[in-house]
Structure 1
Amino acid sequence: MRTILGLVVAGLLLVTACDAKSETSLPDGPALMKRSAEAMRAVKTVAFTIETKDKPAVPVRHAEGSLTKEGDAKGTVQIEMLGLQEIDFVLVGDTVYFKGPTGGYQTMTRQQLAAIYDPSAVLTGVPGLLSAAQDVRTQAEEKVGDAAAYRLTATLPQDALAALVPGVQQKVAGTLWIDKATSRLLKIDVPLGGGSAAVTLADYDAPVTVTPPTP
């Protein structure tokens, strides 16, 4: 009996030790966020997707495209504005080319677009968002697609988060996934009034060419 009890106790101690080791093996949250901000500053191009669920109180419902560090971008965006509008966009320098389901491209300035939604901020705004995050905690290791990642929680300030998800009115407790190998950001998921929004980043530094559309 004593032998059996001894084995049980030893087994419990081993499990406890393994759990403690698992927890302490996770990297420090603030340090990991700092490394990620530095890694994101070096990014040259990226593909992005923004997806909302349950109609949160933000105008963008869905967006996807490719971005460059210089701020050029191309893709599509669905915006709730007098009904759901789907728009193709191309940003080159200070000029924005856009068109709806019918008709050809029209133009506006980048400044005019920024009053509605500037997709290039998905890349240019990420380092600032990561640097400004508070109450950062590393929760676990898990997969994002095929990539091994760390899952973290953090309080994200309104002004920095609004660059990625326009219409955010207050700071948000969000969940982030950071690539283990590169420290690059893979995904952000944030609860919003009436729903949630997720920003996913992929295809880092893949070749991207953004040119004005043919009239």
Structure 2
Amino acid sequence: MPVDLRVFSGRWIYDLRMSRRRVLVGALALLLAGCSSSSGDLPAGSDLVGRSAAAMRSVSSTHFTIKVDGELPDVTVKDAEGDLNAKGESKGRAKVEQFGQLLEVEYVLVGRDLYFKGPTGGFSKLPAALAGQVYDPTAILDPDKGVAKVLASAKDAKTVSAENGGHVVEATVPKDVVAGLVPGIGGDVKATFTLKDDKLADAVFELSGGAKVTMALTDLNKTFTVAPPT
């Protein structure tokens, strides 16, 4: 029987199209499955913040940066940067709002003394207790009210992404706990933590009034010395 090449060719093209379609559908299904499995493979947020809370309790020193966006009635510092250790010693600089003006200051906190230097003149010596009236950076490594306490008290922690060898976790932190780091908090805050090697790399606190506080920690456990200025 003679073969109708037109019928044969048409059938072959149809089968080829259907085969390609099945391959595309199969590939799409695998892609979607891969996406959903990757999100499911993210570690639990509660486990990450729990391990980080424990790890941060043993941190002996850090370099820190703090930036305040918006208005916080009980915080005059707009941004600060410096070094601090778990013994309560610290040195660095800060921008402080006073009488509507932003002033750059330097500080050294050692022993029971706070040395404070404004835009003009030299250092003035004050009792260390006065540091809390502006902002006390030593609270950051205080296990009872610092970042370790904040991480340990985080609620509804959810891992949202994995990036640059770490994880990003969103959570809610009770107001009385955040107040140890940021005075004058009026309610629970939304926090976003970036955690690397079980340590806190940075934290962003979003307050109900629209203000935002960003804190970054680097050079953990790096040795440095603090001495009274001469």
Work out whether the TM-score is over 0.5: yes
Which position in structure 2 is the counterpart of 1:114?
A: 132
The letter of the residue matching 2:42 is L
Compute the RMSD of aligned alpha carbons.
1.6
CA 1:37–1:164 in structure 2 vs 1: closer, same or farther (change >3 Å)? same
Give the Cα separation in 2 of the matches to 1:169 and 1:60.
Answer: 18
Query: Where in structure 2 are the equivalents of 1:1-215 lying within 5 Å?
Result: 1-53=17-69, 55-57=70-72, 58-82=75-99, 83-124=101-142, 125-143=146-164, 148-179=165-196, 182-192=197-207, 193-214=209-230
Residues 133-164 of structure 1: CA deviation (Å, up to 9, x unaligned): 11100000123xxxx22111111222222333
Deviation larger for 120-129 or 104-113: 104-113
Write the letter of the residue equivalent to 1:28.
A
For the Cα contact (< 8 Å) 1:60–1:166, is it kept in 2? no
Q: Structure 1 residue 76: deviation in Å? A: 0.8
Query: Percent identity of the aligned residues?
Result: 37
Q: Deviation per CA, 1:12-48, whole angstroms, max 9, x where unpaired? A: 2211221122112211100100000111111111000
Report deviation, 1:187. 0.6
Greater percentage in helix: 2
Unmatched 5+ stretches in structure 2:
1-16
Provide the C-alpha distance between the structure 2 equivalents of 1:169 and 1:85, rounded to a whole number of angstroms. 26
How far apart, in 1, do the equivalents of 2:129 and 2:229 lie?
Answer: 20
Q: Which runs of 5+ in 1 are unaligned?
A: none
How many residue pairs match? The answer is 207
**Runs of 4+ with >4 A deviation:** none
Partner-residue secondary structure (3-state), 2:37:
helix
Q: How many angstroms does 1:128 deviate by?
A: 0.4
Q: What's the TM-score, normalizing by structure 1? A: 0.89
